[in-house]
Amino acid sequence: MNVWQRPVNADWRSINLANWESRVPLHTGPDGYNLDSFDDPDFLSAELRYDLPKLGRLDGLDIVHLQCHIGTDTVSLSRLGPRSTSGLDFSAAALRAARELGVRARADIAFVEADVYHAVRTLGADRFDLVYTGIGALCWIPSIRRWADVVAGLLRPGGRLFMREGHPVLWSLCDPRPDRLLVVEYPYFETDGILFVEHDTYAGTGAVASPRIIHFNHGLGDLHRADRRRTNRHHA
């Protein structure tokens, strides 16, 4: 069972970084992300296969995958015909695994280590036609508005953001209860974050060495206002 509480002056970045660093050996292990499948040049991750109908054509585009972790979705994106592919993450361990996967998959990808909030400074402004972010990325950042400013800064005029996320109401619901009731237990709107202790991860087997994490929820209003900030910048 997860243990949670509101953090008091918690260093969310250091806590989350330690957690993601400790997930890498589990996610790259034999029961993790099934990295052997990428030896097939036509293989795409399950996430990318799900996104394909809405993702559109990537031929000739410059794309960047924010919070790319070990690069399985990034490699998959690179197989859809873009001119260039970049992946950005704050975990050095994850990026080492991502670069190894890129070599194994014969994919030409620039994997860059940086906080997502520093992406424009690190990668350059107005560089990309598409910013991609997969499901489960936004809960790790405290300010969706600041994140939207980063996305807007990375995109060229006419560029677009592809984001797939769970509904914020879903993230506010409690874990399964013995009485099977659905109860709103966690904040729906942005807060200072919630501290959880989770010893398991969603892929691979074994205990996570650094089980503390801090999650942030972002209501639909926050998400829509963030997207409007991105849109307004390119129509100003």
pTM for this prediction: 0.91
Closest CA to 209 of 93, 47, 82, 45: 93
pLDDT reported for residue 1:
43
Helix ranges (H only) for the chain are: 12-27, 46-55, 72-78, 92-104, 119-123, 144-154, 168-172, 220-235
Domains delineated in the chain: 3-235 (3.40.50.150)
Chunk the chain into consecutive blocks of 10 residues (it has 236) and report each block's average pLDDT, rounded to whole numbers: 60 96 96 95 96 95 98 98 98 98 98 98 98 94 94 96 91 85 89 91 92 93 70 56
Answer yes or no: are the C-beta atoms of 154 and 116 closer than 8 Å: no
pLDDT reported for residue 230:
54
pLDDT reported for residue 7:
62
